[in-house]
Chains A and B, each alone.
Chain A
Amino acid sequence: MKIFGASSFQIASFGGVGVLILFLIINLVLISRKKSRYLQDINLVASATMVALAVFTFLKLTNTQAPSLSMGVGGWAPPFGIEIKIFLYNSILIVFSALSMLLVFLSLRTERLPNAVHPLFLLLFIGVFGVLHSGDIFNIFVYLEIMTVASYGLVSVSEEEGRYNTALYYAFPMALVSTLFLLGIFLIYSTYGTLNLYQLRMLCAHTAMFPLALFGTGMVVAALIFESALFPFYLWKTKVMSTTNVPASFFFGSVSPVLCFYLITRMMTVFNLRSIPQLDALLVTLAVITGVVVAVMAFYSRNLLEALAYGSIAQIAFALFLFVVATPSNNLALYSFVHLLNTMIFETLIFGSLMLRGQLTGEYMEPLFSTGILSSIGVPLTSGFVSKYFALYYTLRISPLLFTLSVVFVIASVAYGINAYNLRKNFHYRRIARTSPVALSVLFIFFALTFFLGIHYRPLISLAEAMRSSLEVCG
């Protein structure tokens, strides 16, 4: 069966965004007719559908010979048509985003938030999945804008005073950064005549970039560095995360950094930016300063969500550091992906246990939260230990300077982990009588993964290797 020139398999693989748009329309109809009591169940169905589609695509991709699945929307070939492309790297992130979406909508069953957050979160995840599916830089921009516009609204939904001010504090610089991103895209287009990432990669692979395109690429990377909240742009994230509601904090602390790392690594691969040593030096410097600054700030923070925000910035800075200092002769790029996978697991455990505090009794919540913190510190037998151990081991073999810089990141993780563990007592909890089995089982997947991958680390390394090579081949 073919619809708009796409096979049923292509529709199942690439149709996630379309499915969410349908659910968004249902949400808006329900809210406008004042029948919002069905919202929670409907959005849980939407999340479960996304998880099923994401897992299906991932399994299908691992069982086929082709390194990527690609589709030109409406049958148009690039550069005129929009290309949607899935390879192993982004398919894993799609599975992670779908699980995060499920956690968010599970938490909304007990969070006391207005009904308007349901369509806003759906819009947010439409943006996330759109960014991950896109094989075209302008399409990435469009979905990033959808994501950020939804997040402006979400930041303003909390019980804290000054929430609109915080939303503006976040929204205006972000709008400026989006403008920078767009200008970069226009400069790239006016130089190369295409915005398709694969075509751009072919054009940039063997020749030096034209100065105008290089300037445009620099703008795109600068915009992504701002969105990743690396030094000196980290303040927006900590202010936003400590003021907004917990599910939105989860998004900013867990999903958003992973997405930024994905975009930076993809842009660096597409535009062959690793061949520019000055950019490498700049990124390493930014990452290291970020690690030091956020370690100090996290240690002295008195707000749990703020400390966690600093922590999430430090983890992504560490992954970026490993990615940038990697060369073809060392294994550090591989361990940046291992660290990314670990970050996805422990940040979900930490934020998930806080987010589902209305559905988990203390006897379940405490071990889940503590396991996440232990893994973020890098305690042996947890998956967090694997990436930190290998990063330290290989950097020591390469150069004492890189080893010292890696130690800085490990110290940052320990500092924020200890402080966050102590601050959990000040966090507002509600006592409940019974733990929800659904909430527990979703978080248990991440809990089990933490210890399983901490003891049998080979699957983690294989997965990271597959992600790295898929970026190299299909990026």
Chain B
Amino acid sequence: MMEHVLSILLISAGIMVVVFAKSFMKKVMGLGIIVNGMHAYLVASAYRQGGVAPILTPGMKLGGFVGSAVDPLPQALILTSIVIDISVTAVLLALYIRAVESGEIP
């Protein structure tokens, strides 16, 4: 529960930065905070007390494995999301740099 609250706080902090920051760079950073808060939320949702990696190794009992293996999908989702977030941030910053260089943004 505590993890959920912390991740929601992180998301809220990101939203505050996006809404109230005047600098474009800070707004982009706020966006990054929101996305990382969301990743923390998904990690918290998928967390399993005493869970094991979802890989069946020799000697492991199937019943115990099924009962304690963690869900592998959130990791894949978060990894993909991190890559997308980095790409979007890079494009936004590249556009910002171009806009500053061309004098469109002082």
Which residues from chain A sit less than 8 Å from chain B, CB to CB?
Answer: 79-80, 138, 142, 145, 149, 152-153, 156, 161-162, 164-165, 167-168, 171-172, 175-176, 178-179, 182-183, 185-186, 189-190, 193, 195
Contact = CB atoms under 8 A, between A and B. Distances in A.
Contacts of A178: 88
Given A156-B98, A176-B18, A189 B42 contact: yes
B95 A182 contact: no
A142 B92 contact: no
B69 interface: no
A29 to B, nearest CB: 21
Contacts of A153: 91
A190 B45 contact: yes
A34 to B, nearest CB: 22
Interface of A is mostly: helix
A149 B104 contact: no
Contact of A176 (B31, B71, B74, B80): B31
Contacts of B71: 193
B72 to A, nearest CB: 7
B35 interface: yes
Contacts of A172: 24, 27-28, 92
A162 B42 contact: no
Contact of B87 (A149, A165, A182, A195): A149
A145 B73 contact: no
Interface of B is mostly: helix
A149 B95 contact: no
6 contacts: A162-B104, A165-B104, A168-B95, A168-B105, A171-B95, A195-B73
B104 A189 contact: no
Interface in B28-51: 28, 31, 34-35, 38, 41-42, 45-46
Given A142-B80, A165-B99, A189-B74, A171 B105 contact: no
Contact of B92 (A138, A171, A183, A190): A171
B81 interface: yes
B102 interface: yes
Nearest to B105: A165
Nearest to B80: A142
Contacts of B42: 186, 189-190
Interface of B: 11, 18, 24, 27-28, 31, 34-35, 38, 41-42, 45-46, 71-74, 77, 80-81, 84, 87-88, 91-92, 95-96, 98-99, 102, 104-105
Contacts of A190: 41-42, 45-46
A171 B91 contact: yes
A153 B98 CA distance: 11
B91 A149 contact: yes
A82 B40 CA distance: 23
A227 to B, nearest CB: 15
Contacts of A165: 99, 104-105
A164 B99 contact: yes
B35 A182 contact: yes
A33 B96 CA distance: 28
Nearest to B34: A179
A183 B105 contact: no
B19 to A, nearest CB: 10
Contacts of B81: 182
Max count, chain A CB within 10 A of own CB: residue among B28, B80, B104: B104
Nearest to B42: A186
Given A176-B18, A179-B35, A164 B95 contact: yes
A138 B18 CA distance: 24
Given A79-B73, A179-B31, A186 B41 contact: yes
B38 A168 contact: no
A19 B102 CA distance: 37
Max count, chain B CB within 10 A of own CB: residue among A152, A153, A161, A172: A172
Nearest to A180: B34
B38 A142 contact: no
A168 B88 contact: no
